C-alpha cells in the first residue's frame, strides 16, 4: 500500500485483506499539523473493534485515533488522528 499525502487518493492507497477487509489510509500535511485518516470497510458486516485497533496500531503508532460517527447499519468505520505543532502555528492577531 502506498501512503498518500494531501488526499490524492486512488486504489493504491487501499489494501484488501484475505478475509475481505478493505483498509484505506490517507494523510494531510501542512506546516503546522497533520491529519491521518483510516477507513475500514466490509461488504458483509461492520469491521470489528479488534481488527480496526490492530490496523490503527500499525498505521498510526503512538497517536490516539478517534472514530467518526457513522450511519446506522453501515459497514464502514472511519478513524481520524490529528497532530498539531503549536510552535509552528501563526500567532493569533
CA distance linking residue 6 with residue 9, whole number of Å: 9
Q: What pLDDT sits at residue 31?
A: 76
pLDDT of residue 66: 94
- Across the chain, which has 93 residues, the per-10-residue mean pLDDT values are 51 82 87 86 94 93 91 92 72 58
pLDDT of residue 70: 87
Pairing outcome for strands 76-84 and 33-41: antiparallel
User: What pLDDT score does 3 carry?
Assistant: 52
Amino acid at each position: 500500500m502506498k501512503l498518500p499525502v494531501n488526499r490524492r487518493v486512488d486504489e493504491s492507497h487501499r489494501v484488501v485483506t484475505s478475509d475481505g477487509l478493505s483498509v484505506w489510509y490517507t494523510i494531510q500535511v501542512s506546516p503546522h499539523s497533520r491529519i491521518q485518516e483510516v477507513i475500514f470497510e466490509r461488504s458483509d458486516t461492520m469491521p470489528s473493534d479488534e481488527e480496526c485497533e490492530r490496523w490503527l496500531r500499525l498505521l498510526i503508532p503512538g497517536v490516539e485515533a478517534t472514530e467518526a460517527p457513522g450511519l446506522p447499519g453501515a459497514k464502514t468505520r472511519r478513524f481520524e488522528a490529528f497532530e498539531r505543532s503549536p510552535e509552528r502555528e501563526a500567532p493569533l492577531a
